[in-house]
Amino acid sequence: MSKKDIDEVTGVETTGHEWDGIKELNNPLPRWWLWTMYLCIIWAIGYMIAYPSIPLINASTPGLLGQTSRGDVAIEIAAAKESQKVFRDQIAAKSLVDIRKDEKLFQFARSGGKAAFAVNCIQCHGSGAQGGAGYPNLNDDDWLWGGDLEAIYTTIQHGIRVEADDDTRTSDMPAFAGDEILEKEQIVQVAAFVGSLSKQEVDAEAAKKGAAVYEENCASCHGEKGKGNKEFGAPNLADAISLYGDKQADIIRQVSKPKHGEMPAWVSRLDDITIKQLAIYVHALGGGE
Amino acid sequence: MVTVHKEVERLDVEPVNSKEKRELFAAHVKIFPKGVTGTFRSLKWLIMGITLGIYYITPWLRWDRGPYVPDQAILLDLANRRFYFFSIEIWPQEFYYVAGLLILAGIGLFLVTSTVGRAWCGYSCPQTVWVDLFLVVERWLEGDRNARIKLDKAPWTSDKIRKRVIKHFIWILISISTGGAWIFYFADAPTLFKNFFTLQSPFVAYATVAVLTATTYIFAGFAREQICTFACPWPRIQGAMLDEHSLIVTYNAWRGEPRTLKKKEREKLGDKAGDCVDCNACVAVCPQGIDIRDGAQLECITCALCIDACNAVMDKIGKPRGLISYATMSDHAESKASTWTSFIRPRTYIYLAIFGAICLGMLVTLLMRDRLDMSVLHDRNPQFVKLSDGSIRNGYTVKILNMVTDPRSFRVSISGLKGATMKIAGSDVKASDTVKVDVDADKLKAFKVYVTVNHKALKGARSNIQFTIKDISGDETTTYNAIFDGPSK
């Protein structure tokens, strides 16, 4: 048996361990401390019975209360949906213009539209709705098919050039080279004229000749001054924005064999409330008319 | 070798598992502090009255701030993220004032502890104050120390049951009002009071009251000195804070020893006798259950009740007071009484200077702080938009913080870019270089603005633009330097 080591100051026995001259007194722990530990153990056993705890092969023991994290989320989502119901009912009932006028409803619709946009639209139009080559920028004030609330709503509903949808937006620009409507030279001339519409530096001689070609072949859809026509989705040629590029080569290519954008009809995929919210969101991006 | 019988000898062995050796855990020994009167007891009554008064009454104080903000003098409005302290209102971004207060509290604790020891523990710690309050009830119902010890050992008669039931009933009432008062700091007190009793308060209010009621009842009724000795970190920290020039409650052994019960007889015989008559009065009154004559110890909260008890005894035996007194270790070592200057030393001045500097710094910043702020957040995606006429548009989210208790109108203007015009998103007002914005009292307003510039005015991809807001009816202004993005040339 080892000799008892009694601390001089306190008269308490030490544990016999020593670290750099520091010894630990072997004072008894308060008994309530022990009881607290037992209480915690009992609590832990109860907790393990009430909540999911012991891991099994596929899942863990479910626990008597049947609580799951997924279940909690589902309850929270249901509660959130319930709290949104007031707004959603109003959006379903009201016209787009009235929704726009109601500040609170507008904020709600725009936020909902933003979320729906992030899921359904950013693949083509980009996360900031800034578009890209061939995909229109929705932030600007240039609209192919119209930029007021109703026009945007219709475009989202029925899409562009969707064969299966009878109400879809559709138009077809002839391939002036492929279908041999214009001579190569004429196409170059009309491209020069189109460039001059948006005040670009072009061959003046060619543009002058191109004006006549334009008058005859293009003005019916794009307008005499190239301002476009939203009825046919004919782009404004006189502004600073061009979907497929504004260099002479871009214009020549587009006149010769035009590219035609397509957009899905969302009426069959999204509910009307979501489409309305999308229309409100896109309209509020800064270019809405 | 000891022979206990002619046939039997005593073996030299010790029981390894004797009861004495198995004591791993100690049962709680109840302490029955004796009532005492004196200077420090009176001081403690006074401080107890003040601290309890502050705690219970503060949430009910009103402070008129106009019709737009709460009129509670001190309110921690967590839901709306505001802190009200009389005429001062703190927004979340001004949290450094709270940090400042915490630093102040820390330095204050250093200052107090290094000079007058654990005064916080002995006088104003909630644990001490509420234990004192519970003891008042206990003493009133069950009598002083001896009566309480007797009652505690007595069998469960109807009288004992009656006394105990009333005691615990009052304790629980105090506990509920303690837990209950806490929640009034976080919401409008009169409204919450009404809602609380009509069961219309949020669950967290009831949960908070329940937890604080339970802790008050258990800590002040049962745990008492156990909290100080085993649960609180401060007794450990004091080792780093105190030094030999800090005042602590000290038994002046140089005067008291050798202690003796029969002092006069001893003196007649010519033996040396100290002033301590070993009456144990200091032990009987100690709420921590220690003997101060053992010297400075972790359990001592320096409540000074032993000083009062000993002084009364010294008066009776005709000796000067102060056998137990507030004294520093260095004075004790030199066998002399401490004076009020004993604890003042460079460290005191340094703490005082730091404390004062922080106070002053906070006061100055508080008086000079802006009650109007603005932040301008540039759209990241897209960074800029080309419009059909070739001009470039940038979007910004502007936030105006109107931190006064009245609604204000502001003129927001842009400068630094020639010909730039601004328009609030969705507004019908024609774009110009300035817009008017109304902001509610004590609120933040965030809105989107579009700034449009002719692309010829842009020198490169990045240009500087300044947003300025001006209070229309006052002269407060704030400027924010932002960036205007455009295509690279």
Instruction: Please report which confidence band the pLDDT of residue B19 belongs to, taking 50, 70 and 90 as the band edges.
Output: low
Chain B nearest-CA distance from A10, in A, is 10
Domains recognised in chain B with CATH numbers: 34-60+93-369 (no CATH), 372-485 (2.60.40.10)
8 Å CB contact of B387 and A241? yes
The Cα–Cα gap between B400 and B412 comes to 10
What is the model's pTM?
0.79
Residue in chain B lying closest to A29 (CA): B25
Helix axis angle for A103-120 and A69-93, nearest 10°, is 120
Domain at A184-256: CATH architecture:
Orthogonal Bundle (1.10)
What confidence score (pLDDT) does residue A1 get? 42
Topology alike, domains A85-165+270-283 and A184-256: yes
Find chain A residues with C-beta within 8 A of B27's C-beta.
31
Paired tokens of A193: 């004229």
> What b/e sequence results for A220-251 when a residue is b if at least 16 CB atoms lie within 10 Å of its CB, and e otherwise?
ebbeeebebebebbbbbbbbbbbbeebebebb
Give CA separation, B350 vs B100, B103, B192, B232, B288, in Å. 18, 15, 45, 27, 33
What confidence score (pLDDT) does residue B127 get? 96
Residue in chain B lying closest to A138 (CA): B385
The Cα–Cα gap between A89 and B72 comes to 39
DSSP sequence for B231-281? I-SHHHHHHHH--TTSEEEEE-HHHHPSP-SSHHHHHHTT----S-----H
| From B388, B390, B450, residue closest to A286, measured CB to CB | B450
What number of CA atoms fall less than 13 Å from residue A25's CA on the CB side? Answer: 9
Give a three-class secondary structure readout of A112-141: HHHHHHHHHCHHHHCCCCCCECCECCCCCC
Q: Return residues 393-422 of B near A (CB < 8 Å).
A: 393, 395
The Cα–Cα gap between B471 and A38 comes to 64
The Cα–Cα gap between B453 and B393 comes to 6
What confidence score (pLDDT) does residue B489 get? 67
Which span out of A179-183, B166-170, B195-199 was modeled with the highest average pLDDT? B166-170
| From A30, A34, A141, residue closest to B388, measured CB to CB | A141
Q: What percent of chain A has pLDDT over 90?
A: 76
Paired tokens of B204: 């967290």
The residue with greater pLDDT, B369 or B12, is B369
| From B28, B379, B385, residue closest to A30, measured CB to CB | B28
Paired tokens of B205: 């209010």
Q: Are A243 and A251 in contact (CB under 8 A)?
A: no
8 Å CB contact of B382 and A30? no
Instruction: Please report which confidence band the pLDDT of residue B22 belongs to, taking 50, 70 and 90 as the band edges.
Output: low
Instruction: Note the pLDDT tens digit of each residue in A141-188.
Output: 999 999 999 999 999 999 999 999 999 999 999 999 888 899 999 999
Domain boundaries, chain A: 1-67, 85-165+270-283, 184-256
Adjacent-strand bridge partners of B375: B399
8 Å CB contact of A130 and B382? yes
What confidence score (pLDDT) does residue B301 get? 92
- Kindly tell me if the per-residue pLDDT of B20 is higher than 70: no
> What b/e sequence results for A111-132 when a residue is b if at least 16 CB atoms lie within 10 Å of its CB, and e otherwise?
ebbbebbeebbeeebbebbbbe
Instruction: Note the pLDDT tens digit of each residue in A81-109.
Output: 999 999 999 999 999 999 999 999 999 99
- Kindly tell me if the per-residue pLDDT of B23 is higher than 90: no
What confidence score (pLDDT) does residue B263 get? 67
Q: What percent of chain B has pLDDT over 70?
A: 97
Domain at A85-165+270-283: CATH architecture:
Orthogonal Bundle (1.10)
Interchain CB contact of A139 with B (< 8 Å): yes
Q: Return residues 230-259 of B near A (CB < 8 Å).
A: 230
Chain B nearest-CA distance from A159, in A, is 23
